[in-house]
Amino acid sequence: MNEVNPAAVATTVAWGGFALAFIFGAVGNKTNFCTMGAVSDVVNMGDWGRMRMWLLAIAVAILGSNALQLAGVIDLSKSIYTGSNFIWLSYLVGGFAFGVGMTLGSGCGSKTLIRIGGGNLKSLVVFVFLGIAAYVTLKGLFGAFRVAVLDPVSIVLSTGQDLPSLLAKAFGTDKKMMLMLASAIVAGLLLLFVFKEREFRGNFDGILGGVAVGLVVVGGWYVSGELGYLAEDPNTLQEAFVATNSGRMESLSFVAPQAYTLELLMFWTDKSKLVTFGIASAVGVVAGSAAYALASGNFHWESFRNAEDTANHMIGGMLMGFGGVTAMGCTVGQGISGFSTLALGSMLTFLSIVAGSALALKWQYARMLREA
């Protein structure tokens, strides 16, 4: 039997993450996939088009990810989202902060990367402040606050926090059956809402964006959870997921990876720092977006209007960095990747992000009226 080479596996995982994210960036740019924009459209105009695109991505991710789970290809219980420690206060506070931040910063973590690829210098500033704040929340001052104040407020469940595990225990049934039932019901309800509107059924870009993003998230689970999985790492003789920052299987998420991207750039000559799935996916989104922008002739430079605009984007980036790490994910990390595992924390974070963004949008509108 040939011995597995972890370095070769790591390269495969990194390139897989880059390729998937390249598709995400190109499709996101073409279809204007934007979770902050989805909330803004609903709050300011009553337009649910982009929200339906986001919900479609969630539904596709749920069906695809759980199909892989049922086929025995991956094990979603080995992700960071389905653990038994339900840190509800961190999900609420982090999600709310992220929602406010993405409104001030003109887009979430993924939209920041998409806009950088399109020539937006404002988003480059958001990227830097988001990455720094995320790193400080992972390992620095904000992290000490998070660990000491927020994370201890939790509920420890006897099972994982995913719906199939909770339902299987509650009804004393097989988890596999509950997995099929829960994924079918949740995804089915989302699809029913998405396609009940005739206008959206004829929205090619909306359907393309939702389906493609959902499938890319499914691909992320496959790359890290199957291609990157070692039943026995030859170096440690233990189970391992290669080339992920968390040491667990991952799919797309765009907060902590931006922090690790900055870290890699600053410590490039440190041979212990490697290009991970998350770092490669962050770079891939920028590359994919840039490729589409250049090919379509939509690439253009954009900068700040004034000092207040600059401050808003700096603060927004910091809030997203803090909130995304605290809540263990962003509108894609928790809102799609995490949601696809049917984890309660992901659903709570999704609602908290939407609430934070909606409140910030209302505040901005009220302020605009006062100044008019």
Structure confidence by residue, pLDDT tens digits, 301-344: 999 999 999 999 999 999 999 999 999 999 999 999 999 999 99
Q: Per DSSP, which regions of the chain are E strands?
A: 85-86, 155-156, 229-230, 240-241
Enter the pTM of the model: 0.96
297 burial (CB, 10 Å; 0-12 / 13-18 / 19+) is exposed
Average of per-residue pLDDT values in the chain:
96
The residues near 143 (Cβ < 8 Å, ≥ 6 apart) are 136, 137, 325
User: Are 110 and 24 a contacting pair, CB within 8 Å?
Assistant: yes
Q: What is the pLDDT of residue 237?
A: 75
pLDDT number for residue 4: 80
If one compares 110 and 5, the residue with the highest pLDDT of the two is: 110
Report the SS3 class of residue 321. Answer: helix
Alpha-carbon dihedral sign for residues 324, 327, 331, 334: positive
CA angle 327, 49, 126 (to 5 degrees): 40
- The pLDDT, as a whole number, for residue 238 is 86
Mean pLDDT of 33-43: 97
Task: Using pLDDT thresholds of 50, 70 and 90, give the confidence band for residue 371.
Answer: confident
Residues 6+ apart with CB under 8 A from 185: none
Angle of helix 344-371 relative to helix 35-45, nearest 10 degrees? 50
* Structure-derived torsion over alpha carbons of residues 4, 5, 8, 12, reported in degrees to the nearest 10: 30
Hunting for tokens 């991505």 — which residue is that?
57
Q: What is the pLDDT of residue 292?
A: 98
111-138: per-residue pLDDT in tens? 999 999 999 999 999 999 999 999 999 9
pLDDT more than 70, % of the chain: 99
User: Looking at residue 234, what is its pLDDT?
Assistant: 82
pLDDT interval class at 1 (50, 70, 90)? very low
How far apart are the C-alpha atoms of 137 and 255, rounded to whole Å? 11
Residues 17, 25: contact at Cβ < 8 Å? no
6: region left, alpha or beta (phi > 0 left; psi from -120 to 50 alpha): alpha
Decide: residue 348, CB within 10 A, 0-12 exposed, 13-18 middle, 19+ buried.
Answer: buried
Query: Is residue 355 over pLDDT 50?
Result: yes
- Would you call 171 exposed, middle or buried from its count of C-beta atoms within 10 A (0-12, 13-18, 19+)? exposed
SS3 annotation, 203-234: CHHHHHHHHHHHHHHHHHHHHHHHHCEECCCC
Say how far apart CA 128 and CA 352 lie, in whole Å: 24
Confidence (pLDDT) at 308: 94
- Return d(Cα 157, Cα 164) in angstroms, integer: 13
pLDDT of residue 344: 97
User: What does the pLDDT look like over 134-167, one tens digit per residue?
Assistant: 999 999 999 999 999 999 999 999 999 999 999 9
pLDDT tens digit sequence for 260-292: 999 999 999 998 899 999 999 999 999 999 999
Q: For residue range 184-196, list pLDDT tens digits in order.
A: 999 999 999 999 9
Residue ranges per structural domain of the chain? 6-371
- Percentage with pLDDT > 90 across the chain: 94
Return d(Cα 323, Cα 318) in angstroms, integer.
8
pLDDT of 2 reads 56
Q: Taking the CB of residue 184, how many other CB atoms lie within 10 A of it?
A: 13
What is the C-alpha to C-alpha distance for residues 154 and 87, in angstroms, rounded to an integer? 4
Mean pLDDT of 211-231: 97
Q: What is the pLDDT of residue 319?
A: 98
**pLDDT at residue 352 greater than cutoff 60:** yes
Distance CA 130, CA 319 (A): 7
Q: What is d(CA 83, CA 330) in angstroms, rounded to the nearest whole number?
A: 18
The whole-number average pLDDT for the span 66-92 is 97
